Structure 1
Amino acid sequence: MTLRLIHLTSKDYREMPWKNGGGSTTEIAIYPETASLNEPFLWRLSLAQLKESGPFSSFPGYDRSIVQLSGKPMTLKHDGHADKRLEPLVPYPFDGEWKTESVLSERAEDFNLMTLSTAFEARLDRFDLALDKELKKESQDHTIIWVFDGEVEWKTSADKKILNTGDTLILEMARGLIYTLEAKSEQAIVFVAKLKVKGKPSVKAKDPLAGVTLEKLLTELVNHYGWEYLGEKIPVNCFLKDPSIKSSLTFLRKTPWARTKVEKLYIGYLEKK
């Protein structure tokens, strides 16, 4: 399979209730994209607002990494395992099956990575690009870059993107890709998750876009919904003014964020068929 880049911003994220009903989370991304917390998934990235102390949802079979982003350091109390007082902006990995409770002295926000234990070896690291200025790294099978603060340029020998605070860049099928992260602001802090595939994942993650060309999915969407609907969902000129498959394909191939939105519309269309 070929490299796939997905650039997400805060407008692409979605709010959803906690699995245990005790709060809400901002889901940044989940893989496969059609998965949910009610069924097996391979990995998930999210933000959570914690208003008070309370239990964490249990995720048997998953590895978790948590980073406290704001608030006085909380303590995670693990039943049968040592407690852990979190350090600000320092990733802490633990077993998703552990019975865990957070103890807070004030409101806090955290960043979470969950990966299926049988599918990936996962590592989450923090990099302060204001200190390093430029960082050269090698990508894993899946690499996820999330900008906590600042402006960062991601680049390879063939491509580059500007990432702002809160943006996420997902690199799929990217093992061995050499890339550079460079600070474009005084302060630039990023978190990088590297997911190495462990043989065959035990969750069947069939890619709904596999074997589907951009022209095919766009044509199906237009035939089913019409140009007006596409213009409402993605208000860009190629859908609103003199739309055509040819001009739209040219635009989408040059505009990753719009292409990602069209692909998500197509996945939703397939789910309803």
Structure 2
Amino acid sequence: MTILLSVKKRIEIPNSLFMSQSLEDVTLIGPTRYYAQPEIKSSLDLPSLTTLHLENVILNHENPGEYGGIFSKCLNLKNLTLSNCNINDHTPFISYPEFSKLTPEKGLYSFANVVVPHLKNLTVVDCRGPIKIYAPELSSLMYQVPYYDTFFANGLSCLEKVDFYMCPFEEDDAPIMKILEQFHTVKYLTLGLEVVELLDLYVDMLSNLPSPFANLTSLKIYPWKKEGKKKLMVHRQVKNFLLGASSNATVSIYSRKQVKALKDATSAQ
């Protein structure tokens, strides 16, 4: 079921709209204007729901003490996509055993915890707000955030593929190395060029750190922003940190100039 809302001012989504024993797939899309985006305040009562896509919607649970919040009654929900949503639900955001895929895109997400024991795929794109992940079965992570926010994961022992594009503050007390060490099991790692540029600032510290990656088969470095250093010079200490324990891994480094040329060629076709 797909619901498209076109309203001129904010409305509260009535409980009756989300009370079904049989619905399995729901898409709800509100207006792009923030002041007109609909608001969900009560738990969605959709016990058969497996796939949910919410876009341009505000989640503001009226009972923040309720365990699980907005999705507490969606017991079979496996695939959740949130696009340009704002979440004001201060309970642990996700705490359901059935989740296998979670995709927050854009918007403001004030949740602190993602607790999903069987989550396999997590995609975080252009979101604001700190995130803490407990997902021991997570195998694929895409984290594309073009500014700094707190990132912490625990128990990522099954992680095989990571695309990571966060740009931390240079003066951060928890250097980028501590974040990368959380991905120690990965085989396929794609890093934003800006992450590698930041590692260059810690060459003295890196000299005393072992490489966290023992299983890498592929490392790709790809620019997130158009501006930045004209040419990346990767220090030996940075290479040792990324590849010291995976000497047979293939390495692909894309410059901003190369990416621009690829985009121009694609646009010309």
TM-score by length of 2: 0.24
Q: Which has the larger radius of gyration?
A: 2
Higher RCO, 1 or 2 (CA under 8 Å, sep at least 6)?
A: 1
TM-score by length of 1: 0.24
